[in-house]
């Protein structure tokens, strides 16, 4: 149970970070 939730959390962090990187690149 907690392992699945952890994987989802990690994936969520990567999705958010990548969106952030995209915004930074687009505005640079």
Partner 1 sequence: NCLTLCRGLHIHHTFESGGLFPSMLERHPELAATITTLEAEHAKIAGLLEALQTLVSTPSTTSVLAAVDELITELTQHLDYEEEQLIPLLD
The CA distance from 8 to 22, in Å, is 21
DSSP state of 21: H
Rounded to a whole number of angstroms, the minimum distance from the CB of residue 7 to partner 1 is 6
Residue keyed to tokens 């907690």: 2
- Number of residues located near partner 1, criterion CB under 8 A: 20
The tokens for 17 are 């970070």
Looking at residues 1 to 28 of the shown chain, list those that interact with partner 1 (rule: CB under 8 A). Answer: 1, 3-5, 7-8, 10-11, 14-15, 17-22, 24-26, 28
Chain residues in the site for partner 1 (CB under 8 A)? 1, 3-5, 7-8, 10-11, 14-15, 17-22, 24-26, 28
């Amino acid at each position: 149970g907690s392992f699945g939730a952890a994987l989802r959390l990690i994936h969520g962090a990567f999705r958010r970070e990548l969106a952030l990187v995209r915004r930074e690149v687009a505005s640079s």
